[in-house]
Amino acid sequence: MCGRVVTASGPEELSEHLGADAVVDVLDGPDHNVAPSGRLPIFWEDSGGGATGGSRRLLGTARWGLVPRWAKDPSFGHRTFNARAETVATKPSYRSAFRRRRCVVPVDGFYEWGPGRPGDGGGTTARKQPWYVQRTDGAPMVLAGLWEDWFAPDVEADEVLVLRTCTVITVPANADMAPVHHRMPAVLESGDWATWLDPAAEEVDALEDLLVPAPDGVVCRHPVARSVGDARRKGADLTTPVDLEGESTGRAGHVPPAPDQGSLW
């Protein structure tokens, strides 16, 4: 699962990192605790933009929770903030966007809830520990996603309102994440961005081949304070490492494996 993320990098940094041709929308500022229905940065390819009619790569924002165009109202997005890689090409909620509206979601990291202290791994009453996950190299984490535009008429203004939404695709966990949760976001490397973003790409197998667990060592994690569970908390202190049983924990290999207990969302 992926139910809380950090969006601290500014549009200039993300635009340079991703190679954007234009920035069309920006977030209000850093947010170290974005929950579903919040806004995320997204990067996609517009095949009809530009004065010459050529494609452009755009950096903008979208509400987190995909709302397909046939949905009756935006509340549909409350349950579609994650899409499973195994069914994203066929599930009605996602299949249209998978064919034509793929994007990447650049974040600084994400939180996941799982076992903490060695004694926390067993019973149903065990208290879950939040972990902050980021790239080991410190670069923005570029996640595979989908986007949609949902249209609603505004009768009073005599116009159509457009709501852009997105979802993050998840895959089975790699060895770095497995002790915490059995799923993780699909992390794309720069060499895969062009294939994923190309709206003309129609080979489902080639696209699905990109949706795999990150190689071991690409991400690292450390425990953080349980105050991150309050979505109203937004400060950078939420990513500060905390000690478990008096021992600092910075990498997945420092934590004894524990059975999965599911995600908070």
- What's the CATH code of the domain at 183? 3.90.1680.10
Domain assignment present for 31 = yes
When divided into structural domains, the chain yields a total of 1
Domain assignment present for 260 = no
Asked if 40 contacts 4 with a C-beta cutoff of 8 angstroms, the reply is no
Q: What is the pLDDT of residue 186?
A: 98
Q: What is the pLDDT of residue 157?
A: 59
Domain assignment present for 170 = yes
**42 — phi, psi (to 5°)?**
-135, 155
Q: What is the pLDDT of residue 264?
A: 28
Q: What is the C-alpha to C-alpha distance for residues 174 and 203, in angstroms, rounded to an integer?
A: 25
Chain-centre distance for alpha carbon 10: 17
Asked if 23 contacts 41 with a C-beta cutoff of 8 angstroms, the reply is no
Other beta carbons within 10 angstroms of residue 48's beta carbon come to 9
Q: Which of 45, 103, 112, 148 is catalytic?
A: 112
Domain assignment present for 37 = yes
**Half-sphere CA count of 203, side-chain side, radius 13 A:** 7
Q: How far is CA 150 from CA 75, 87, 244, in A?
A: 12, 22, 45
> Is 103 one of the catalytic residues?
no
CA quadruple 226, 229, 230, 231: dihedral positive or negative? positive
Q: Which amino acid is at 102?
A: R
Q: What is the C-alpha to C-alpha distance for residues 46 and 96, in angstroms, rounded to an integer?
A: 16
Asked if 103 contacts 44 with a C-beta cutoff of 8 angstroms, the reply is yes
Q: What is the C-alpha to C-alpha distance for residues 238 and 248, in angstroms, rounded to an integer?
A: 16
> Is 112 one of the catalytic residues?
yes
Q: Which of 2, 45, 103, 148 is catalytic?
A: 2
Q: Which residue has the tokens 């902050």?
A: 132
Domain assignment present for 120 = yes
Q: Which amino acid is at 152?
A: A
Q: What is the C-alpha to C-alpha distance for residues 1 and 111, in angstroms, rounded to an integer?
A: 10
Domain assignment present for 100 = yes
Residue ranges in the chain whose pLDDT is less than 50: 118-119, 122-125, 246-265
Q: Which amino acid is at 109?
A: G
Asked if 245 contacts 255 with a C-beta cutoff of 8 angstroms, the reply is no
Domain assignment present for 19 = yes
Domain assignment present for 127 = yes
Q: What is the pLDDT of residue 118?
A: 46
Q: What is the pLDDT of residue 54?
A: 76
Structure tokens at 182: 């059995």
Q: Which amino acid is at 4?
A: R
Q: What is the C-alpha to C-alpha distance for residues 16 and 6, in angstroms, rounded to an integer?
A: 19
Q: What is the C-alpha to C-alpha distance for residues 91 and 79, in angstroms, rounded to an integer?
A: 13
Q: What is the C-alpha to C-alpha distance for residues 170 and 2, in angstroms, rounded to an integer?
A: 7
Interval 26-84: pLDDT, tens: 999 999 999 999 999 999 999 875 555 678 999 999 999 999 999 999 999 999 999 99
Q: What is the C-alpha to C-alpha distance for residues 212 and 172, in angstroms, rounded to an integer?
A: 7
Other beta carbons within 10 angstroms of residue 141's beta carbon come to 23
Structure tokens at 253: 């290999």
Domain of 116 in residue numbering reads as 4-254
